[in-house]
Structure 1
Amino acid sequence: MKRLAIGLSDFKHLIEEDFYYFDKTAFIEDVIKDGSQVKLFTRPRRFGKTLNMSMLKYFFDIENREENRKLFKNLYIEKTEAFKEQGQYPVIFLSLKDLKASTWEEMERKIIVMLSDLFSEYEYLLDELKGTNYENFKEIAYKKTVLYDLGGALKLLTKILYKKYNKKVVVLIDEYDSPLVSAYINGYYEKAKDFFKTFYSTVLKDNVYLQMGVLTGIIRVIKAGIFSDLNNLRTYTILSEMYTDSYGLTEEEVVKSLKDYGIEQEISNVKDWYDGYKFGDSEVYNPWSILNFLDFKELRAYWVDTSGNDLIKDVLKIVTKNTIEALERLFNGEGLKQNISGTSDLSKLLSEEELWELMLFSGYLTVEEKIDHKNYVLRLPNKEVKELFKDTFLEKYFGRGSKLLYLMEALTENRIDEYEERLQEILLTSVSYNDTKKGNEAFYHGLIMGMGLYLEGDYITKSNIESGLGRYDFVIEPKNKTKRAYIMEFKSTDNIEKLEEVSKEALEQIEDKKYDVSLKQNGIKDITYMGIAFCRKEIKIKYK
């Protein structure tokens, strides 16, 4: 049984060491047939972007042509007309994946080091260089230059390689947006934008030495002006109808891999957990998660790393009523209608108008339905992403540890006084004062949703649904009709002395508005009514 290439993105190493490989070499044929000179592919993290770029490098590279030819033996591309392009061009392959820094000064230093490392790979060319090409090459390779002079570094390298081989150059730039997102997060975006706009455009636009440019990233940063000068760029996002199965795994590929590892009986569970991504007209699985499942044979969330968690945490910082209600619909399996432009303005990444688009292109949402060329219905793709959101959401509202477990045990066992004590403790120890300010209904709505997520499975939780003579705030309905149900009405006040009075009003409202009608119609006999009053971080519950 072949080893699994978890975390490996070097195509040559993967093939030579005989790791299990999903044949994606049809991507090479598509790239060759594609008439656009510069292509940008945006896909979520860990969907095979770097491995595909590495594959292109070894395919096109004129250096070690015969040795690299062997890498494609018995793969799809070997049998195609496009294989004649193998080993025909000099290649520059630059990954910006790790180009992140907390300050612009640190970013400057990292760029200088990165380009020094790149030029050092071509140090064998130095003996053939003369004049300014020699001097400029040496200055970059030996880190004797300043950032201002590096905007045209890649174009210089294409010129040198062209003169060496008399062949135009293929330029591959992986994770082009990584330093831009880092700059946005750390507050030096304008400086980074100015540099990278020059850095990319000089090598990709009107460059007579360029055969083809291929870039990958997660988002298309067009509004920021990075690519405004590139009229030869074609972008392929997850919404595009081309290259739909070049990234991610098709069902056919997943079924075959499960059979190869003797666990084909798990296909239904695997589909629930890791399928559900819609790229164009193709439905694909998360490749990172599939590889890990094949290895560990355990259904759980694998698609987790620091950057992923940070994004969700940033999303959950935007505690607006609309955001919480939208998340609630998503958690309940409903679709979310949104306008998606296919571009991202980094200055507004986490604003409400950009939020859902960012989550879509980052892999946390997927397309359920295309309404027209700009409007889509979005949903959570699968159980894995839902679990990731659920865990992060619960941590935000209830902290780590067993607090939520004990809180909900007290509730479902109808120990309401203990429930009040434990909820009070959570508010005092795990919640920001700003979250509980008067008028911030979204926070309490989120608190409710967190409880609903925790009880998922044994209970059905509903909020803001019509029943009797009005709409209740929150109902916990047991799937087992012999168990107890709970109706909660929340009210907030800015006067701590009125907590008792307000909680009593909330309880009376449940009875006056007959919120229990729908529960009784569903055959529930045991119901607890709870009026819950908040004053910032103080709480009072009246119940019967």
Structure 2
Amino acid sequence: MKLPIGQSDFRNIIDGNFNFVDKTLFIKEVIEEAPTVILITRPRRFGKTLNLSMLQYFFAPEVRGIPTKGLFDGLKISQETVYEEYQGQVPVISLSFKDVKDNNFEKAYDKIYEIIVDLYQNFSYLQKSDVLLEELKLLYVRILRREANPAQLENSLKTLTECLFDHHKTPPLILIDEYDTPIHGGYLNGFYDEIVSFFRNFLSAGLKDNPCLYKAVLTGILRVSRESLFSGLNHLKVYSVLNSQYSSYFGFMESEVEGLLNQAQMTEKVTDVKDWYNGYHMSDVTVYNPWSILNFIQERGILQPYWVNTSDNELIKTLLSRSSFSFKDDFEELLQGKGIEKLIDENMVFSDLKRNNPTSTWSLFLMTGYLTALDHHHTPRGSLCKLSIPNKEISFLLQRIIEGWFVQDYGLEWYEQFLNSLLRGEMEKFSAGLKELIDHTVSVHDTGRSPEAFYHGLMIGLTASLHASPLYEIRSNRESGSGRYDYAIIAREPQTLSIL
């Protein structure tokens, strides 16, 4: 098998004879979609970039000077009536902001400027167009030569749609990949307001009531609040992980995974693969993590956390470490394989994360793929979702993060010896280790105003590796007899020691 790991260019996959899971009917659904502007949010590595590349190669007559005719021969879309009508008939504006991860606004602005200049260079023939108004042509050249002022750059998307429409007499399709990456960077590095202001003006100019626009498809991980970014875009339709439409095109369906495993002669691995990489519920559709599936097959059946290792997971670590007592308590339920019901707000307001707003934090965990919604229903305040950890890969990551709260300076071997001393009832040895840990890693500043919450979090960290264990059940803050215990490690076998 020739697996397209790391490949996100549709032509490279087709011309390179890579194994391709045919998602081309996605194109038909986009064509038949009524709204002009579509935003699809999914976790990273779920096929967003490849699907936008597929749209570009379908609609554009050529990409980088090479005709697109014939690329879709034999694929599902070629059997549809829309094929002859639309293939190669629409100018395409394709942008990706995946690399705009700078630590200040000036650097981010410069990188965005370069992305737009590169985009304009793809249509350099417009400089010699006989049908463009001279004023519009001069504005195009100013942007191309990096002579545009900030207002002209903010209008550059709209300017290009006008140029293409006037020249081709056909409104263009706009594709924007990872629109939210610069905004995420702005939040982490302290220039959130500036970057949101730029993109609000940039997107509003290009997408709002633009008669020169056919459609626009945007992808990202999060839906940034309409008030901060999409104000005025009344014709915007958002499809998040809580919507079923388009869900079968992002991630692998069970039949597609079985087909890949069959080609790889690994059908005996179906159950393992399901436990480790399945479990993402997109409304009524359940999908596998495609990145992990491809890497699992490439590595000939080695079960590893492939997806989680593609990120430093820093924001998730930070939010977990500074979360409240009740949040940690809920997270403990998740680690035990249980579901919890939480209100989810699909409109992301990054400032709420700084205020430890639990709704925003749970929403971030869901939208980024660290949790999934087993079911949900809409309320006036948002979507009420039953959340759970989707699979073993994510459970492994979250346990590792929690263990890292206090063992990062000691190492895994020390942690295992320390935990085993507790489980064997060697309390003198355990107490000495706990005292050493607290003396060296905990200060009064760590415990803050709620020392109980801190030490409860410490206990979750201490027992993180036990939550998925078939040998123990972890309980906390439960009534027992005439009182309530703080924490209990209950052995499932009567001959094994339990700890209260």
Structure number with greater CO (CA < 8 Å, separation at least 6) is 2
Q: Kindly indicate whether residue 264 of structure 2 is the aligned counterpart of residue 261 of structure 1.
A: yes
Amino acid of the structure 1 residue aligned with 2:136: N
Aligned partners of 1:177, 1:26: CA distance in 2, in Å? 26
SS of structure 2 residue aligned to 1:384: helix
Instruction: Pick from 174, 194, 201 the counterpart of residue 204 of structure 2.
Output: 201
Choose which of 443, 464, 468 in structure 1 pairs with 2:454.
443
Deviation at 1:244, TM superposition (A): 2.1
2:322 equivalent in structure 1: 318
Aligned residue for 2:371? 365
* Equivalent AA in structure 1 for residue 221 of structure 2: I
2:275 matched to which residue of 1? 272
Question: SS at 2:170's partner residue?
Answer: coil
Say which is worse superposed, 349-358 or 387-396, in terms of deviation. Answer: 349-358
Aligned residues: 486
CA contact (8 A) 1:319 1:442 kept: no
Q: Deviations over 1:453-480 (max 9, x none)?
A: 2233433222222223222122223333
Q: Percent identity at matched positions?
A: 38
The answer to whether the Cα contact below 8 Å between 1:223 and 1:345 also exists between their aligned partners in 2 is no
Task: Give the deviation of 1:288 after TM superposition.
Answer: 0.8
Post-superposition CA distance 1:165-199 (Å, at most 9, x none): 22110000111111112112222222112111110
Match of 2:69? Answer: 69
- Indicate whether 1:158 and 2:169 are aligned: no
The DSSP-based 3-state class of the residue aligned with 1:190 is helix
Secondary structure in 1 matching 2:138: helix
Instruction: Report the TM-score, using the length of structure 1 for normalisation.
Output: 0.85
- Amino acid of the residue matched to residue 365 of structure 1? L
**8 Å CA contact 1:108, 1:147 repeated in 2:** no
Is 1:252 aligned to 2:263, yes or no?
no
Verify the 8 A CA contact 1:224 1:346 in the aligned structure 2: no
Bigger mean CA deviation after superposition, 201-210 or 395-404: 395-404
Deviations 1:50-93 (A, max 9, x none): 10000000000023699423221211100011212111100000
Partner of 2:12: 13
Relative distance call for 1:235 and 1:86 in structure 2 (3 A) is same
- Amino acid of the residue matched to residue 9 of structure 2? D
Deviations along 1:112-152, whole A, 9 cap, x unmatched?
A: 11111211222233232663333322222232233332011
Amino acid at match of 1:120: Q
RMSD over aligned Cα atoms:
1.9
For residues 152 and 414 of structure 2, the distance between their equivalents in structure 1, rounded to whole angstroms, comes to 56
- For the Cα contact (< 8 Å) 1:399–1:430, is it kept in 2? no
After superposing the two structures, state which structure 1 stretch, 293-302 or 456-465, moved more.
Answer: 456-465
Structure 2: gaps spanning 5 or more residues: none
CA distance in 2, matches of 1:143, 1:403: 57
Aligned with 1:192 (options 187, 192, 195): 195
Cα deviation, residue 255, structure 1: 0.8
Give me the whole-angstrom Cα distance separating, in 1, the residues matched to 2:224 and 2:115.
22
Tell me which moved more, 266-275 or 67-76. 67-76
1:454 maps to what in 2?
A: 465
Report what 2:400 is aligned to. 391
Residue 41 (structure 1) aligned with residue 40 (structure 2): yes
Separation in 2, partners of 1:88, 1:448: 61
Q: Is the 8 A contact 2:283 2:375 kept in 1?
A: no
Contact kept? 1:478, 1:484, Cα under 8 Å: yes
Q: Which residue of 1 aligns with 2:485?
A: 472
Q: Bigger shift: 373-382 or 88-97?
A: 373-382
Could you tell which deviates more after superposition, 92-101 or 438-447? 438-447
Q: What's the offset of the Cα at 1:325? A: 0.6
Kept in 1, the 8 Å contact 2:336–2:474? The answer is no
Range moving further from structure 2, 387-396 or 132-141: 132-141
Q: Distance in 2 between matches of 1:88 and 1:340?
A: 40
Q: Aligned to 1:421, what secondary structure does the other structure show?
A: helix
Bigger CA radius of gyration: 1
Greater mean alpha carbon deviation, residues 425-434 or residues 166-175: 425-434
- Which whole-Å CA distance do the structure 1 matches of 2:271 and 2:31 have between them? 36
Which amino acid counterpart does residue 430 of structure 2 have in structure 1? Y
CA distance in 2, matches of 1:158, 1:94: 13
State how far apart, in whole Å, the 1-side matches of 2:104 and 2:309 are: 22
Aligned pairs for 1:284-363 (under 5 A) are 284-296=287-299, 297-305=301-309, 307=311, 309-349=313-353, 350-363=356-369
Superposed CA offset, 1:275-303 (max 9, x none) = 11111210111111111111112112111
Aligned residue in 1 for 2:31? 32
Q: Distance in 2 between matches of 1:168 and 1:380?
A: 44
The letter of the residue matching 1:359 is F
Unaligned residue ranges in structure 1 (runs of 5+): 488-544
Q: Quote how far apart the aligned CAs of 1:435 are.
A: 2.0
**Compared with structure 1, are the counterparts of its residues 308 and 73 closer, same or farther at alpha carbon in structure 2 (3 Å cutoff)?**
farther
Give, in angstroms, the shift of residue 437 of structure 1. 4.2
Which amino acid is 2:314 matched to? D
Whole-angstrom CA distance in 1 between matches of 2:70 and 2:113: 35
C-alpha distance in structure 2 between counterparts of 1:398 and 1:356, whole Å: 25
**What's the TM-score once normalised by structure 2's chain length?**
0.93
2:225 paired residue number: 222
Moved more, 214-223 or 268-277: 214-223
1:99 matched residue in structure 2: 100
Indicate the SS of the match to 1:4: coil
Q: Secondary structure at the match of 2:387?
A: strand
| Aligned-partner Cα distance in 2 for 1:106–1:41 | 27
**Could you say what secondary structure the match of 2:459 adopts?**
helix
CA distance in 2, matches of 1:366, 1:317: 21
**Alignment deviations for residues 425-452 of structure 1 (CA, whole Å, 9 cap, x no partner):** 2223334542234632111111211222
Paired residue for 1:512?
none
Matched position secondary structure for 2:229? coil
Tell me the equivalent position of 1:136. 139
**2:497 alignment partner in structure 1:** 484
- The residue type paired with residue 217 of structure 2 is V
CA distances 1:196-247 after superposition (whole Å, capped 9, x unpaired):
1110011111212111111111111124431111122111111123212121
Q: Write the letter of the residue equivalent to 1:50.
A: T
Distance 1:432-1:54 versus aligned 2 partners, 3 A rule: farther
Q: Provide the C-alpha distance between the structure 2 equivalents of 1:217 and 1:61, rounded to a whole number of angstroms.
A: 22
**CA distance 1:433–1:113, shift in 2 (3 Å):** farther
Is residue 97–residue 112 contact of structure 2 (8 Å, CA) maintained in 1? no
